């Protein structure tokens, strides 16, 4: 009797486990759809010959060809990519150092709170503060002022990601390495770095994407230079949505997905 | 010398980031409070003291705009957690590692596409002539296109939530993934049912990630200008868009005043947060210290 009961319980839990997983899968698919749905429609729409927001019967690449004749749009894209890479290169080491320092401090909460502060402040307030500050000190707005705004924006995120990945690292392992004769550097490279590497990669990717998407802060410190988001928004405000906006969106989606697949491939092959 | 550097290492590591934040963040924001009291000139402002900007703020409808922004942010946080947490939990705990990894790349994708472009794409999905309305009318669920789908609070919240969902999934996934498997096994061995294990072990250990996520979402929703502008329509204003519109007429002191009030509110919220939750929990979990 007892054995039957146990078996029944086991079967029940196995069945419900599978059902639970299925429910989770459905939920996840719904959320993914919500995220990707708008993006999935942009590509067919960008190929509509009359530039209408409809699925075209006879797709065309005219609008894409037109993109390459628009110098201002291409330069905005170039600026965004440059800024993204620069932000990534500045923010990731800065965040790593700050996280490593925080972990070794006694009053961690204080530093965590301080480094997270930029995240708590509305983007527009940070942008306004910087813009007026630069103006008062006679610093003209350029790519450099945008870089400062982007580093401020991405630093807390990169910091918290690195810190989270460090949190699960058992520092006793490092002490064991010291005991075995490793110096600070070797212990870091051989023991800790492999553990926190996903966190560092995550921080770098986050920094790039946050910079690439940033609008609220950028808008006020950009001066005469346009980034992709400011270019697209001012164009929509002045001219309404025109077909080239769909084309630039389609192009970003294609390029971004390709980049992402390459990165994903590199990461997966390096792990095996 | 080496000894001295080693002893001072944490301070040296902290120095660059602290310097950047002090010079380009703390000082400009602190000065914002001062600029709000400066008298306005034709194109700029000059040092001095006047309450004009604050009078303007409280005598126009801007207070309501302010409260509305707060409400939108809170709703966005709740909805993003409802949508994001189960997904992060599923990906982090119930999927095989390689599938989970592939799925996380799917979540990065909308992220590396400018939010302006993602927001625009909602416009043609939700509009009167948009695909959703056409489908609904086509199937016969509604007789005529739904107006509230676009240029409404609904569309703004939808835009804010979808823009911030990856902000929820990543930190929560990170915190869930780093939970030691043996803790969950121990809980099961002690006779806890899966739901109990989730409630007593997984959920509390994932809270640091949930807090991080809530911060991310709140600020996105609060300081955002492009989403309310593109999805809210012309009459829709939030704190962000009201600062932009004031800057459009070169009223810098008023912009600084609105900005100061936003900063002050965030500082109050931050104080409450620090009072109720121990920030040390973010790092002392799992092994460290």
Locate the chain B residue with the closest alpha carbon to A77: B114
Does the complex come out with an ipTM higher than 0.90? Answer: no
Q: What is the pLDDT of residue A2?
A: 65
Instruction: Please judge whether B262 and A122 are an interchain contact, meaning their C-beta atoms are less than 8 angstroms apart.
Output: yes
Give residue-wise pLDDT tens across range B180-196: 788 888 888 888 877 78
Count of the separate structural domains present in chain A = 1
- A243: in domain: yes
- A47: in domain: no
Q: Which residues of A touch B126 (CB under 8 A)?
A: none
Q: Where are the domains of chain B?
A: 61-287
Residue B201 has pLDDT above 60, yes or no: yes
Range of lowest pLDDT (A213-217, A265-269, B67-71): A265-269
pLDDT band, very low/low/confident/very high, at B2 (cuts 50, 70, 90): low
Locate the chain A residue with the closest alpha carbon to B129: A53
Using alpha carbons, list the distances in angstroms from residue A258 to A87, A194, B84.
21, 27, 25
- A48: in domain: no
Cα–Cα distance, A32 to B165 (Å, whole number): 10
Q: What is the pLDDT of residue B252?
A: 94
The mean pLDDT value for A54-58 works out to 79
Instruction: Please judge whether B115 and A215 are an interchain contact, meaning their C-beta atoms are less than 8 angstroms apart.
Output: yes
Interface test with A, best of B5, B6, B28, B145 (most A CBs within 10 A): B28
Q: Which residues of B touch A160 (CB under 8 A)?
A: 171, 212, 282
The mean pLDDT value for A122-131 works out to 93
Residue B286 has pLDDT above 50, yes or no: no
Interface test with B, best of A18, A126, A129 (most B CBs within 10 A): A129
Q: Which of A42, A80, A228 sits opposite B121 (nearest CB)?
A: A42
Q: Could you list the beta-strand ranges (E) of B55-140.
A: none
Range of lowest pLDDT (A56-70, A82-96, B18-32, B57-71): A56-70
Give residue-wise pLDDT tens across range B106-164: 887 776 677 788 888 888 788 887 778 888 888 888 888 888 888 888 999 999 999 88
Q: What is the pLDDT of residue B127?
A: 82
| A and B: number of Cβ contacts within 8 A | 328
- A3: in domain: no
**pTM score of the predicted model:** 0.80
Give residue-wise pLDDT tens across range A31-44: 999 888 888 888 88
Q: What is the pLDDT of residue B287?
A: 35
Instruction: Please judge whether A119 and B219 are an interchain contact, meaning their C-beta atoms are less than 8 angstroms apart.
Output: yes
Residue A17 has pLDDT above 80, yes or no: no
Write the CATH number for A105: 1.10.3720.10
Domain that holds residue A107: 70-271
Using alpha carbons, list the distances in angstroms from residue A209 to B14, B166, B225, B226.
24, 12, 18, 17
Question: Topology of domain B61-287, per CATH?
Answer: MetI-like fold (1.10.3720)
Give residue-wise pLDDT tens across range A224-253: 899 988 998 888 888 777 788 888 888 878
Helical residues (DSSP H) of B145-238, grouped into ranges = 153-177, 181-189, 194-197, 203-223, 226-232
Burial of A79 by CB count in 10 Å (0-12 exposed, 13-18 middle, 19+ buried)? buried
CA distance A130 to chain B (A): 6
């Amino acid at each position: 009797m007892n054995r039957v009961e146990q078996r029944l319980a086991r079967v029940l839990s196995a069945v419900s486990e599978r059902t639970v997983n299925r429910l989770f899968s459905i939920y996840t698919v719904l959320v993914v759809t919500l995220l990707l749905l708008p993006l999935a429609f942009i590509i067919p729409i960008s190929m509509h010959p009359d530039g209408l927001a409809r699925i075209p019967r006879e797709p065309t690449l005219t609008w894409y060809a037109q993109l390459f004749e628009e110098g201002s749009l291409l330069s905005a894209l170039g600026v965004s990519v440059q800024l993204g890479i620069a932000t990534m290169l500045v923010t990731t080491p800065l965040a790593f150092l700050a996280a490593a320092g925080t972990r070794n401090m006694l009053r961690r909460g204080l530093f965590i709170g301080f480094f997270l502060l930029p995240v708590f402040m509305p983007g527009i307030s940070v942008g306004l503060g910087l813009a007026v500050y630069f103006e008062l000190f006679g610093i003209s707005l350029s790519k450099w002022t945008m870089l400062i705004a982007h580093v401020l924006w991405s630093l807390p995120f990169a910091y918290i990601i690195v810190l989270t990945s460090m949190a699960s690292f058992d520092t006793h392992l490092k002490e064991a390495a010291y005991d075995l004769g490793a110096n600070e550097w070797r212990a870091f490279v051989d023991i800790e770095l492999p553990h926190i590497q996903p966190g560092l990669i995550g921080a770098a990717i986050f920094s790039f994407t946050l910079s690439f998407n940033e609008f609220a802060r950028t808008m006020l410190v950009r001066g005469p230079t346009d980034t992709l988001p400011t270019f697209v928004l001012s164009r929509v405000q002045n001219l309404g949505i025109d077909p080239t906006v769909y084309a630039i969106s389609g192009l970003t989606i294609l390029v971004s997905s390709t980049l992402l697949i390459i990165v994903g491939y590199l990461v997966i092959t390096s792990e095996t | 010398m080496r000894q001295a550097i080693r002893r001072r290492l944490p301070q040296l590591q902290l120095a660059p980031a602290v310097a950047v934040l002090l010079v380009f963040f703390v000082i400009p924001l602190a000065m914002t409070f001062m600029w709000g009291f400066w008298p306005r000139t034709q194109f700029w402002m000059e040092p001095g003291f006047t309450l004009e900007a604050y009078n303007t703020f409280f005598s126009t409808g801007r207070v309501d705009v302010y409260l509305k922004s707060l409400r939108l942010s809170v709703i966005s946080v709740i909805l993003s957690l409802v949508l994001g947490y189960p997904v992060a939990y599923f990906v982090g705990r119930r999927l095989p590692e390689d599938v989970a990894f592939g799925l996380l790349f799917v979540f990065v994708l909308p992220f590396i596409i400018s939010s302006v472009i993602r927001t625009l794409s909602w416009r043609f999905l939700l509009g009167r002539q948009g695909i959703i309305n056409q489908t609904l009318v086509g199937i016969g669920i509604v007789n005529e296109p739904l107006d509230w789908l676009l240029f409404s609070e609904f569309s703004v919240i939808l835009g804010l939530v979808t823009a911030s969902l990856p902000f929820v999934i990543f930190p929560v996934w990170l915190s869930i993934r780093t939970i030691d498997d043996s803790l969950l096994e121990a809980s099961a061995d002690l006779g806890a049912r899966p739901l109990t294990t989730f409630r007593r072990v997984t959920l509390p250990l994932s809270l640091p990630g949930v807090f991080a996520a809530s911060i991310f979402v709140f600020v996105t929703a609060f300081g955002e200008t492009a989403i309310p502008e593109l999805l809210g329509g012309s009459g829709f204003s939030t704190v962000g868009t009201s600062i932009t519109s004031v800057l459009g007429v070169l009223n810098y002191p008023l912009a600084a005043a609105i900005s100061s009030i936003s900063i002050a509110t965030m500082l109050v919220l931050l104080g409450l947060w620090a009072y109720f939750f121990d920030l040390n929990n973010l790092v002392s979990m799992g092994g460290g210290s």
